[in-house]
Amino acid sequence: MARRRDGRLRTRPDSVDSRSSDSYTAGVYAGGQIGNVALWLGGAHTLQAFAEAGYGFATSFARFEPYAGVTYAYQQTYAFHDTGGSAVLSGDDSSLNSVSTTLRLRGEADLFKVGELGVSARGGLGWRHAYGDVDTDTRLHFSGGSDFTVDGLPILRDSAEVEVGLNVSFNGNAALELSYNGSLAEDARDHDVSATFHIRY
């Protein structure tokens, strides 16, 4: 997987002030399963690397997989200095260096099936802890002015991870998937709800 992004910002149509940026993302992902044991490895540049290991087992009513994961992330932002205009914006060097660990239990079960209509549910509950840098603020300043800080989205130090999903299969070619994913911490909440309809021709 590789991605390149170009960006250019001009502050006013008649202004000589402009800003440009290039960003690159590259990543690899691999996974496998030996019996009931599953292992996933991956990495990306800005620099990010992760590893997960889980053990799956089934009961008479559901399938479960407890797993543990660790992620390392490093991001370097270089100093910049705009040119042109009366209010020149500058930014300092900054870096982010963090490690997070996750312990989680996933589960899924088939609720019922009538003819070609089948309904299944899945869920997950876990805990994530971050070590190292969790502050994503950036310090900027205009020429002749005082420094100011732009607040970024914080990395949650400790959070509960919640996943709930429902899948409705109408036949072998169509399915409706409803899902909720949440990260719940003392000072922040992150909720994601989605509905996806799959159809195969």
Query: Model confidence over 76-118: pLDDT tens digits?
Result: 777 767 666 666 777 777 777 889 999 999 999 999 888 889 9
HSE toward the beta carbon, residue 114, CA cutoff 13 A:
1
The pLDDT score that the predictor gives to residue 45 is 47
Query: Edge-to-edge strands of the sheet including 89-91?
Result: 80-81, 89-91, 138-142, 147-150
pLDDT tens, per residue, the chain with 201 residues: 434 333 333 333 333 333 333 444 455 555 566 666 555 554 444 677 888 888 999 998 899 999 899 988 887 777 767 666 666 777 777 777 889 999 999 999 999 888 889 999 999 999 999 998 777 777 777 777 777 777 777 778 899 999 999 999 988 789 999 999 999 988 788 899 999 998 887
Q: What Å distances lie between residue 39 and 50, 53, 70, 84, 105, CA to CA?
A: 11, 4, 12, 52, 15
The pLDDT score that the predictor gives to residue 19 is 36
Is the torsion defined by CA of 147, 153, 155, 157 positive or negative?
Answer: positive
Q: What Å distances lie between residue 69 and 53, 55, 115, CA to CA?
A: 6, 12, 39
The structure's pTM equals 0.62
The pLDDT score that the predictor gives to residue 43 is 45
* Two structure tokens written together for 145: 């002015």
Of 151, 63, 47, give the one whose Cα is nearest residue 111.
63
Burial label for 30, CB within 10 Å (0-12, 13-18, 19+), is exposed
Of 7, 44, 42, give the one whose Cα is nearest residue 23.
7
d(CA 37, CA 58): 13
Spell out a b/e string for 85-97, using b for 16 or more CB atoms within 10 Å of the CB, else e.
eeeebebeebebe
d(CA 163, CA 121): 11
Residue keyed to tokens 């409706």: 176
Single-letter residue type at 174 = A
The pLDDT score that the predictor gives to residue 132 is 83
